[in-house]
Each structure stands twice: as structure tokens, then as C-alpha cells.
Structure 1
Amino acid sequence: MKHRRISRKRVAIAGSAVTAMVVAGISFQTANASEDTPAVTAKTLSAPAAGKLASSLADDLAGDTAGSYYDSKTKALVVNVVDEKAAETVREAGAKAKVVAHSLAELKDARGSLTGKASTPGTAVAVDPVTNKVVVTADSTVKGAALNKLTKAVQKLGAKAELKKTAGEFKKFIAGGEAIHSGGGRCSLGFNVTVGGAPHFITAGHCGTAGSSWSDSAGGAEIGSMVDSRFPGDDFALVEYTGSADAPSAVDLYDGTTQEITEAGDPTVGQSVSRSGSTTQVHDGEVTALDATVDYGGGDVVEGLIQTTVCAEPGDSGGSLFAGTTALGLTSGGSGDCSSGGETFFQPVPEALAAFGATIG
């Protein structure tokens, strides 16, 4: 049987899709927070280097940290700590210390009280290290009794939490990107990967179920079959290419070029990121939160998402979030568009790779 060769253009759609919105980290501090004075000089770092240092310090300081973020203006890592002893450790490592009122454990407990059984459809809940608060973002569908109940729950947490409203409606994005099709649905390819040496690609879990057939055009011949899909809870899926395939690890930049992808990694709050999709092509933004929990309604709650200010529109689900040569996320959903902005959420790529035993780059 003669196998169909997938064009490099088609599978470089390793970069499609994404979401949209704005919830940029707010720069004001909590009443009891204090930052280092200008006399304290922190190392100038790239965002990836800051992320590695943040991970190292989190291990060293354990419960004495309250999160961290990348200051893109000064190109320094800012680490929240709960006492001066921990602050000294941070400074010695070359980062900027900020003594804050709430520990990370306290903020996670506060977030936990707003998710799970108490989750409200149309909301996103995440710890914001910039403000040292749990930020709850409610979309336009949250109103009346539901909004009153949510407002009281947030107020009960006092200075630990803040409620924001956003225009539009949080929803899963289906249709678009340099598209992949299944039945009447359309999503975007995230990144090409290999599993056991065989070519596959990853996309959003809400795009389809295990066993579904996928093509690179509406009504076209099959290019792959979905091996596994994880949604809700997570939002990622694995599709195995049918026969042989030329599957480069690259993202389409929509200017006749592609961005090579060599690895997967985790972003840092404050880091600049990009996403690619056929609906609105390539747009940039900033990571505003990690480990966000989003309730899309109907029992579809997804945890552990990356929250960003990158704009996007329906049609970008499953597409790629990246920074340079590093794959970061798969488009899960969000609200707004590229005219008004909004919130965008991405499934972290490393978690998907680990679940499937896949490699990238």
C-alpha cells in the first residue's frame, strides 16, 4: 500500500491555535509587602534562565516562598518570601526578594476553597504572585445569584483574594488554526512529537475522543487517528499519523517561515510568549498566572493551566504556545478576541509529553 506523504507545510502546523485575553499581572503590592531597595542589584536574566533559578530557589526555600515572577522591564527574577532570612537567600542567588503577607500554602488553601465543589461555571481561579493574591476572573455569564455567591466567597478570604470581571464567555475553542478536521469539528495541531520512534502530534483533549479519525482538510483523507484523549481535568490528546509522515518539529509563523522547536519547558509569570493560529495568525503576549483552574461549565473543569494575555479567537483549540525554540502549551480556551482582548488558557506541554511517553524536538 502506498503511503501518503504529509507536506512539510501541513505538519509544520505544529504551531496553530490559541486563545485570547488580558489579565496582565497587576503591579501593586499587598499592604504588608516590601521589595528590595534599588541598592540591591539582581542578576540580569533571560526568561528561561529566570525560570530555572526560580525552580532551584523553590526547592531550597520550600515553604518560605510565596511564588515568583519575571520582571520583563528589569529582566530580573522576583521571588516572594515570608521572612528576611529567606530574602537573604534569594539575594545571594542573584534574584530580587519581596517580603509578602501570604505564603504560597495559604494562597493555595484559599484557591482550594473557590474550586472543587464550590467551582462556579464561567470562572478562572489562579494564584497571582505579582499581587500575592488569589485572583478570580468571572466572565459575562456569571451574574445574579451566582455572582453574589462568588463575591461573598471572595470577600470572605479578605486580602488573600480579588474578584475581576471580564467581557465575553470562557469557552473551549474549536475550529481553526492550520486546521485539522474530524467529522464536523475543526481544531489545530499543537506540536509534532514521536512516541516509540513513530510520528504523532498532540492537540487539545476536548477536540475529540480516542479512535476519532483526523485529516488536514475538510472531508480529506485520514492523516491520523486519535490514540488517547484527556478531558476534562486535563486538556490534551495524542494522534498517531497514518503510515509514514514528514512531521517537522516547527511552528508556522504565517510569513512563509517556521519556528523550529527543540524542547518543551515551563513558562514563568511575566515571560513573553507567542502563539500561532490560522484564525488570527501570530500574536504575542505575557504569562500572567500558572496552575489556573478554569470552569467552562457543564462539568468541564480543567486544572493546571497557563493563563496569558495572548489574543485569540474561536478556531484555535489545540494550537501551540511557544517562546523561541521552546514548546510551552496547547490552547485550551478563553474569552474575548483580538480586537478587545481577554483571557487565554493553555494546557502545559510537559505534562502531555509525560503522560504519553512522547518526545519533542
Structure 2
Amino acid sequence: MKTITCIDDLRDLHRRRTPRAFFDYCDRGSYAEETLNANRRDLKALTLRQRVMVDVGNRSTETTILGVRRALPFGLAPVGLTGMQYGDGEILAAKAAEAANIPFTLSTMSICSIEDVAAATTVPFWFQLYVMRDRSFAESLMARAHAAKCSALVLTLDLQVQGQRHNDIKNGMTVPPRVTFKNVFDVATKPAWALSVLRGKRKTFGNLEGVKGMSAATSLAAWISTQFDPTLNWDDVAWIRRIWPGKLILKGVLDVEDARKAADTGADAIVVSNHGGRQLDGAPSAISMLPPIAQAVGEQVEVMFDSGIRSGQDVVRAIALGAKFCLIGRAFNYGLGAGGQAGVEKAISIIARELDVTMALTGRRTITEIDRTALMG
């Protein structure tokens, strides 16, 4: 890890060390990947404003989100199949986040279960919920998350139906991997990955054991098409708000009107996100929608941001445009696939260091000092 200097280095190492199906699952987007590419293009187009002769000798990257003091203004986003990037991946990522004093978010579609992660950590983590057609199962997931002392529920709004990801189909991605000549050869050339997964606690979706139809479904896309509920609406959000006793975060807001509705639900925070370019292709980049959404909701809810962050400079850009906090998904998974927990720790430290340096060179000593004037124009 000593020669790794940026997230792109971790991505390259992840690609070499992980079977193609799982790397592509993490790395690629839906359809023609227009929105995936727009996320990065529009972030990089934001020019930072260099300032000089400002006393920045006493800087702090600490911030408060959902009432909790954190060391950094970003956390680990919910990502499905993390335990297939590296064995026990969710546990390792949660431990890395705990060590850094940032939040970790466990996906409903994780390999390790809620209980697995809770048993391996000492601080509360966040749990991301997908609402199934069987509302009683969704309710049971919330009960399990509460019993595990999860401090926040992240309700994903933008996956009522799944956008097609061409590479998942072409790679024949299944969980666990289906035995074919092509993937056996691929796995044979990734011995460290294979050993880590073999040693892992689980080989399929840990939160979904006992769900009707799950035992016979290895294709994630096929299972989602039968289990996820396309009728999900704002009444369901109100139902969840009544049931869930902790902090509620609504993830997947990309429209000003939707942002106002989300703020009116009693949620504590919203995440401006397009699912990392993995859902509606042709949608605007998340960063382009952040300023009008932040302006529309004001102080009514805390505004978070994800989709496209690869550096500390990107974190500064998002905060400058109205985000209070950011979530990183692909970046930490690149680290995980590259080197397990040490790789996640490296990803966090890279972005943290870039954030600190960028603050200094833009003349900012605290996160609260980062505003629109940190950007040109």
C-alpha cells in the first residue's frame, strides 16, 4: 500500500485482484453510462479557488452529522455485494470506518448480515433499507437494525425497478459465482480473492436468508425484479417514519420537487444521488442538482451528497455547493478489492489527506468555512 497514492491506483489494483464480474458490478453503470460519466465530468469541471497568505496552520476536518461528531465530512455509502469484493467485506469496511470515526452504511443486499457486522464492531453503524413487496419483511429488517443498535436508517428511493447494467449480463454475474469455464479460469488467476471469500462467513445475501424465492435465485437482477416493489410511494415513507425510532435518511433525491416532499416527511436528512449512475441513464449528474436542492430545502433537513466522489477535492466541491456530508461508495470498494481492510483504510486516508490539503490551499481552516466562494465563478 506504500506506493498507492490515489483512488485510481486502488481501482487498478482492485481490477487486477478481483474477478471481472464483481469488479464490473462495482465499477460500471447502467445502459450507455451517460449519467455515470456525467457524475465525474461535472465534478471535475468545478474549478477550485486558490487562496494565499491565509493562516491555515490550525485546520480541522471534523464535522457534526445527525448530531454526532465525526472526524471527516464523509462516510461509507451502502454498496451491495461488498462481501464479494473481498471476504467478509462489510465487516472489514465497517472496522475501517470505525477506526476513522466515520459512519459505515450496511446495504440490505450485503453478504454479511446486520448481526454479523454488529458482532464485529463496537459503535453504531447505519443500515440501508430496500422496501420489498412483502412489507412484513421490510418491517423485520428495521426491527433487526434497531436491535443491532443501528443509529440511522437509509431508505433508498430510486430503485423501485432496476436499471439494466449491461456488464452484469455479459459477465453472467451470480451470487455465489456460477461455475463456468470462463469464471473458473478468472477465479483461478485471483487466488488471494478466492481464499478470502472461501474464508468469509457467508457466500450469499446474509440479510435475506429465509426470504421466499431467495434460495433459488442467484441472479441479483432477477430477484430484484420479483421482490422490489414498484408501487413504493410517499405513503410508504410516512409508514417507515412511524415505525423507525432513529434517524431517517432518504437517499436518491435528484429533483427539487422531490426534495421538498422528502423534507416534509420528517426525515432527518436527504442524499442527493443518482445511484452512482447505475439507475436512470440520461439523468443529470448529482453535483449539477445539488445547489438547487440544497437551496430548496434550506435548513429543514441535512443535505448529503454521493455519486462520483473520488477525491478530497470532490468532497470540497460538494460541500461548497451545499452538502453538509458526503458518501463514498466505489472509492472504498476499490480499496477493499485491492487489499481488504487495509485497502479501505487507505482509501479513507487518501481522501482525508486530499481534503486537508485542499482546505489549506483554498484558505479554509474548518469544514464550516467551505462555501461557494471556495470555487471559481
Q: Same fold (TM over 0.5)?
A: no
Per the normalisation by structure 2, the TM-score is: 0.24
Q: Going by fraction, where is strand more abundant, 1 or 2?
A: 1
Task: Choose 1 or 2 for highest CA Rg.
Answer: 1
Q: Going by fraction, where is helix more abundant, 1 or 2?
A: 2
